[in-house]
Structure 1
Amino acid sequence: MLTNLYFVRHAHSTYTPDELGRPLSEKGFNDAEKITEILKKENIDIVISSPYKRAIQTVEGVAKIIGKEALIENGFRERNLSEKPVEDFYLAVTKVWEDFNFSWEGGESNISAQERGVKVTLQILEKYKGKNIVIGTHCNIMVLIMNYFNGKFGFEFWKELNMPDIYKLTFDKFKLKEVNRI
C-alpha cells in the first residue's frame, strides 16, 4: 500500500518580521490558486500545514476542495536559522549545510531540524497509510526531510527550488520509492 506525500513549499509572501503571521503576497495568492488547481487532480485525502500563515494560505484551497480543514503540524515549521536576523542569509544557510551539526546562536542545526521534520513525517506515514497527503511547508525543512530519505536532496537541490514548488514523495510504508516534481 503506497502513501503519497505532496510537499508544497509555500508561495511568495510579503516580508514582515513576524515569521508566524507573514501572509502571502498578491503573487503568492495567485500562485496558491495554481497549486489548488494542480492538486485537485491528485485525489487528496488530507491537508496538513506548518503553523506559519504563508504555508497555510498556500494549501488551504486544497483543504476547501476536499471539504476538510488543514491540520496544523508544528513539526513542519521552517527551521529556525538564528535567534537574530543574519547579515548574509545565503552565507548563513551555506554554513549549516556544510556542517549538519553547526547552528547559529539560538538557531537549529540541520541535524536537529531534520530530526524534528522526519519524526512528524514518520508519524504521518504511520497514521495515514495508503492516503494522499498535502503538506504545506517551507524550503529548508522540506529539503532536510527529503535528504533524510535520499541524500541526493541537499544544498544544491535547495538552491534550485521555486516558490511555490510541489514534490510528490511516494512511500511503501517508511521506504521512499519515488520522488516527482509536480
Structure 2
Amino acid sequence: MTNLYFVRHAHSAYTPDELGRPLSERGFTDMPKVNEILTAENIDIVIASPYKRAIQTVEGVAAYIGKEIVVLEGFKERNLSPVPVEDFNHAITKVWDDFSFSLEGGESNNMAQARGVETTYTVLDNYKGKNVVIGTHGNIMVLIMNYFDSQFDFPFWKKLDMPDIYKLTFDGKELRSVSRLWERR
C-alpha cells in the first residue's frame, strides 16, 4: 500500500502573487499541529506545489525527516483565470457545474484534474509502498480526490479547512480508503 497525505496549505492572506504568497500569522500558528500529525505517520518523502504557502505548510515535516522537499508543478493550484476574477464564488461555481468550462486563459476542471491525476500517478509509480506528504491546494486536491471517488465534489471542497489533511491509501493505482487527519483544536 502507498499512502498519500494530501495537505491543503495553511491559511494565507490573499495577494495577487499566487507563486509567492506566504502563510499568514494564523497559518504559522497551525504549523505545530500539522507537523505533529504528519511526523507521527512515518513519512518517507515530502512533495509540494511550487507555491510558497504549500511549501511552508510541509517544510517542518521535511526538516523532521531530514529530506529536501520535492517540488512538482502538477500539484500547483488550478489556474482559474490569469487575472483576478470579479466574482470568485460565481466563477468557481461555474467551473464545478461544468467540468469542461474554463474562463479565458484558465483551466477547466477537466484540464486541472488531468494534470493533478497524471502527477499523482507519477508519485504512485515512483514511491510505491511509501508514505508521501503532498503540500498542495484545495481545488486541485479535491479534483484529484474526485477522480478516484465522486463523493469528493464542490460541496466537499467548500467544507475544507485551511490547513486540512487527507490520507489516501492506494493499492497500486486503486484508491482503497480516505481518512481525514486534521481537526481544528
**TM-score higher than 0.5:** yes
Please show how residues 1-182 of structure 1 align to structure 2 within 5 Å: 2-182=1-181
Runs of 4+ in 1 over 4 A off after TM superposition: none
Counterpart residue identity of residue 134, structure 1 = V
> Could you tell me how far apart the structure 2 residues matched to 1:74 and 1:33 are?
26
> Could you tell me how far apart the structure 2 residues matched to 1:83 and 1:127 are?
32
TM-score, structure 1 as length reference:
0.98
Deviation for aligned residue 1:14:
2.3
Q: Deviations over 1:110-168 (max 9, x none)?
A: 00000000001001001100000000000000000000001111101111100000000
Counterpart residue identity of residue 63, structure 1 = A
TM-score, structure 2 as length reference:
0.97
CA contact (8 A) 2:16 2:84 kept: no
> Could you tell me how far apart the structure 1 residues matched to 2:63 and 2:154 are?
34
> Could you tell me how far apart the structure 1 residues matched to 2:13 and 2:95 are?
25
Deviation for aligned residue 1:32:
1.9
Deviation for aligned residue 1:17:
1.4
- Give the SS at the match of 1:100: coil
Deviation for aligned residue 1:13:
0.8
Deviation for aligned residue 1:65:
0.3
Query: Could you tell me the percent identity over the aligned residues?
Result: 71
Deviation for aligned residue 1:87:
1.1
Deviation for aligned residue 1:62:
0.3
Deviation for aligned residue 1:15:
2.1
CA RMSD of aligned residues (A): 0.6
